[in-house]
Amino acid sequence: MAHEHAHGSSRDADSRALKQALTVIVVFMAVEVAAGVVASSLALLSDAAHMLTDAAALALSLAAARLAARPARGSMTYGLGRVEILSAQANGVTLLVLGLLIVYDAIRRLASPPAVHGAVVLAVALTGVLVNLLSERILRGPSDQGERSLNVEGSYRHILTDLYGFIATAVAAAVIIITGFSRADALASLLIAGLMLYASYGLLKASGRVFMEAAPAGLDPEQIGLALAAQEGVVEVHDLHVWEVTSGFPALSAHVVVRADADCHDLRRGLERMLDERFHLHHTTLQVDHETPLQPPLQIEVRQPDDSPASH
């Protein structure tokens, strides 16, 4: 129950942060689209497109956080917590597709660069840096109480990539104003696309690990198995599984064989306590059985045939 309460508090904080960041992003995105059209800047329009995905990512993450907060019931014995992982994976795919599209358009503009109004681009880019710094701070807030969920991490990486993108756009605008080198805008777009692809790789890898039920990062199943087997009274540990139900919810199951004279219930409680304190595994299922005592060898009595006359 305490574990469920902690998840509920964390998701409430996530929802508040996502809602605040979404409001900030949507307002600025509208301003940026207008400025990008006026200034004929691909860097600004690519940032605006990324901010559109930011808004979609934040909205998706917000919906996922609300669904994940619903209690487990019916056939959903773990609840809807893994919806957050689906949201993170969707954010990763969006970043991948958008990054590839920007690479294509940037290469085309490198070959035939349009005129870019550097002053407008610079003003909007600097404002974008401030807006994304604010959004980044809002989304970083929930992590002060612990590690960010993968759901919030997906939106956070969108915002962080946008922040770096605005910095690159501001530098490109300054270059255009000072030197008139208009290809700087397309080069900045390539840098933004590279950041998107890098963020996409991280999200897809992390969410894929959860769906493939790999052990959570930082938890070594072999080390956990050795720690269990090293406990006094434990004879053998097998069928050990460590996976992540959703962000921040690692789980473990194992079959533990203990000595025939051991108190299996007390030993199980000790093992669960060790897993909690040493590996921060709060959700564990241990099947504990006594070892089968060795049976004494079968004694076979061999009787000699009776050769006395009475036997004939």
| Domain ranges for the chain | 2-211, 221-290
pLDDT of residue 274: 95
Q: Predicted confidence band at 10 (pLDDT cuts at 50, 70, 90)?
A: low
- pTM, entire model: 0.71
Q: Predicted confidence band at 46 (pLDDT cuts at 50, 70, 90)?
A: low
pLDDT of residue 233: 92
The top-scoring range by mean pLDDT among 5-14, 42-51, 61-70 is 61-70
CA of residue 50 relative to chain centroid, distance: 20
Residue 69 has pLDDT above 80, yes or no: no
Residue 276 has pLDDT above 90, yes or no: yes
pLDDT of residue 300: 56
CA of residue 178 relative to chain centroid, distance: 42
DSSP annotation of 309 reads G
Rounded to an integer, the average pLDDT of 110-117 is 80
Q: Which of 142, 101, 110 is CA-nearest to residue 9?
A: 142
Whole-angstrom distance, CA of residue 29 vs CA of residue 48: 6
pLDDT of residue 297: 57
Whole-angstrom distance, CA of residue 234 vs CA of residue 259: 6
CATH superfamily of 221-290: Cation efflux protein, cytoplasmic domain (3.30.70.1350)
Token readout for 143 is 């992590």
Task: Specify whether the CB–CB gap between 138 and 17 falls below 8 A.
Answer: yes
Q: Predicted confidence band at 4 (pLDDT cuts at 50, 70, 90)?
A: very low
Whole-angstrom distance, CA of residue 49 vs CA of residue 43: 10
Give me the residues paired with residue 242 across strands: 252
pLDDT of residue 79: 79
Residues 187-204: tens digit of each pLDDT: 888 888 898 898 889 889
3-state class percentages of the chain: helix first, strand second, coil last, to nearest 5: 65, 10, 20
Residue 226 has pLDDT above 90, yes or no: yes
Task: Specify whether the CB–CB gap between 85 and 150 falls below 8 A.
Answer: yes
CA-angle at 126, arms to 131 and 42, nearest 5°: 100
State which fold the 2-211 domain adopts.
Alpha-lytic protease prodomain-like (1.20.1510)
pLDDT of residue 2: 42
CA distances to 141, 228, 253, 264, 275 from 260, rounded to whole Å, are 51, 17, 22, 9, 23
Average pLDDT for the chain: 81
